[in-house]
């Protein structure tokens, strides 16, 4: 299975008027499900809760502001999250994958929604059901979509014999499916770059190259739970002084023989409604009438696994190195084992931010272990 990423962000704004109550009633029917997406990168995760973040929503918010003649001058009542979105400075073209996303903006009409859905299907091969917008005449809508299929340069191995005991930050343990490598087989995975590693293996950062020339999957297991903002800064700092040790040393920048890598398979399906977090009458320069967010949400689908698991069905030890421990190594073994909360990022080379980030700390994002049937 390849790594599959799908993120859809949607913002509907309209002039505050008699139609606001109708729109609010429609919004009330929406519910958040799955691990929540967040808009504030500085938010600390709650123990036992997975989170997702993507700058796609920020890109939609910026486009919404650009559709007004002047800048937003005030919000009544004050809203700190709206202030944060307005003040965030970033370079969208440096962060987002060039051919993997698009922002659509226009009038809140069925015609525009249908045209957007048709273009999304043509460009990305994804069928999109236009949201209900007919109850907000005169409104404007911004619809962003991010679709990315990412293959690792070399297949990892999926354990068919053993599960990984993942212990979340509440102390609960979950038996989950995982992929990786171990023993002598670790020597050939040059696509994995060791950015940072603490001697006990409690914290590490790995950069895994993909078939996208300038994009990587980055795995960061911190010693303690931290915010996306802090994690991104720490990955950036560590990447500026990469490991450069000799083969077999703790600071070897590549995987070497008898290193063990175990990453849980992920299957994340989430829908987060932001409408209530973005309440307030927004006044723009040159427009005497205030605007209000009538609907705002983000849908996220993310799968992470080894590529080619379905066709790599040989069951001998060489294709499943997790059944027995390796013999004593001639070099220092390292354990890159994600058996506790960790971050996963999809990141363009040299970009200041990832274009997708997830904090994994709950069974809702993990794939339960199911042993392979005996032959």
Q: Which residues touch 309 (CB under 8 Å, ≥6 apart)?
A: 1, 155, 158, 179
In the three-class reduction of DSSP (H, G, I as helix; E, B as strand; rest coil), residue 19 is classed as coil
Residue 256's Cβ-side half-sphere holds a number of Cα atoms within 13 Å equal to 16
Q: Can you list the domains of the chain with their CATH numbers?
A: 3-150+266-303 (no CATH), 157-265+311-365 (2.30.39.10)
Find residue 335's DSSP bridge partners.
260
Q: What is the pLDDT of residues 227-254, one digit of tens each?
A: 999 999 999 999 999 899 999 999 999 9
Task: Kindly report the three-state secondary structure assignment for every residue of 135-175.
Answer: CCCCCEEEEEEEEEEECECCCCEECCCCCEEEECCCCCEEE
Query: Cα separations (Å) of 352 from 29, 34, 54, 293?
Result: 37, 28, 13, 29
Judge whether residue 2 has pLDDT over 60: no
State in Å, rounded, how far the first CA of the chain is from the last one: 23
Q: Looking at residue 133, what is its pLDDT?
A: 54
Contact 355, 96 (CB under 8 A): yes
> How do 335-337 and 260-264 pair as beta strands?
parallel
Q: Looking at residue 371, what is its pLDDT?
A: 74
pLDDT band with cut points at 50, 70 and 90 for residue 340: very high
Rounded to 5 degrees, φ, ψ at 113 are -60, -45
Rounded to 5 degrees, φ, ψ at 22 are -65, -45
**Average of per-residue pLDDT across 299-315:** 55
Reduced DSSP (H G I as helix, E B as strand, rest coil) percent helix, strand, coil of the chain, to 5: 20, 35, 45
**With left for phi above 0 and alpha for psi between -120 and 50, is residue 248 left, alpha or beta?**
left
Judge whether residue 311 has pLDDT over 50: no
Among 106-115, 163-172, 247-256, 323-332, the range scoring the smallest mean pLDDT is 323-332
Q: Which residues touch 21 (CB under 8 Å, ≥6 apart)?
A: none
**DSSP letter for each residue of 5-46:** EEEEEEEEEEESSTTHHHHHHHHHT---BSSPB-S-TTPPPP
Contact 124, 37 (CB under 8 A): no
- Euclidean distance between CA atoms 339 and 352, whole angstroms: 28
**Average of per-residue pLDDT across 89-95:** 95
Q: Looking at residue 130, what is its pLDDT?
A: 60
Judge whether residue 308 has pLDDT over 50: no
How many other C-beta atoms are found inside a 10 Å radius of the C-beta of residue 266?
A: 19
**DSSP letter for each residue of 193-218:** EEEEE-TTSSSEEEEEEBSSTTEEEE
How many other C-beta atoms are found inside a 10 Å radius of the C-beta of residue 216?
A: 20
Reported pTM: 0.88
**Closest-CA residue to 297 (of 7, 9, 65, 51):** 9
Q: Which residues touch 40 (CB under 8 Å, ≥6 apart)?
A: 81, 84
**Closest-CA residue to 258 (of 320, 321, 306):** 321
Torsion of CA 311, 314, 315, 320, to 10 degrees: -70
């Amino acid at each position: 299975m390849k790594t599959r990423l799908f993120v859809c962000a949607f913002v509907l704004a309209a002039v505050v008027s008699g139609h606001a109550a109708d729109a609010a009633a429609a919004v009330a029917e929406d519910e958040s499900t799955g691990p929540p997406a967040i808009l504030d990168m500085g938010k600390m995760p709650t123990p036992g809760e997975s989170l997702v973040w993507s700058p796609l929503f920020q890109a939609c918010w910026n486009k919404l502001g650009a559709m007004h003649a002047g800048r937003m001058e005030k919000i009544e009542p004050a809203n700190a999250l709206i202030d944060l979105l307005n003040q965030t400075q970033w370079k969208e073209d440096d962060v987002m994958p060039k051919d993997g996303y698009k922002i659509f903006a226009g009038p809140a009409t069925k015609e525009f929604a249908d045209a957007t859905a048709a273009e999304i299907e043509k460009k990305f091969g994804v069928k999109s059901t236009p949201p209900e917008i007919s109850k907000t005449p005169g409104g404007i809508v911004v619809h962003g979509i991010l679709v990315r299929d990412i293959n690792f340069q070399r297949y990892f191995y999926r354990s068919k014999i053993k599960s990984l005991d993942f212990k979340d930050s509440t102390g609960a343990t979950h038996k989950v499916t995982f992929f990786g490598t171990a023993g002598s087989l670790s020597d050939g995975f040059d696509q994995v770059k060791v950015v940072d590693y603490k001697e006990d293996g409690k914290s590490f950062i790995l950069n895994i190259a993909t078939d996208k020339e300038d994009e990587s999957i980055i795995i960061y297991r911190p010693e303690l739970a931290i915010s996306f903002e802090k994690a991104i800064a720490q990955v950036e700092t560590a990447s500026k002084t990469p490991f450069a040790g000799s083969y077999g040393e703790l600071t070897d920048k590549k995987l070497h023989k008898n290193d063990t890598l175990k990453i849980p398979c992920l299957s994340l399906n989430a829908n987060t409604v932001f409408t209530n977090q973005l309440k307030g009458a927004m006044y723009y320069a040159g427009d005497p009438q205030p605007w209000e967010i009538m609907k705002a949400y983000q849908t996220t689908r993310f799968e992470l696994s080894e590529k080619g698991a379905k066709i790599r069905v040989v069951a001998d030890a060489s294709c499943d190195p997790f059944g027995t421990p390796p013999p004593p190594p001639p070099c220092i073994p390292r354990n890159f084992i994600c058996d506790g909360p960790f971050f996963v990022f999809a990141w363009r080379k040299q970009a200041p931010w990832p274009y997708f980030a997830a904090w994994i700390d709950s069974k809702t994002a993990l794939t339960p272990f199911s042993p392979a049937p005996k032959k």
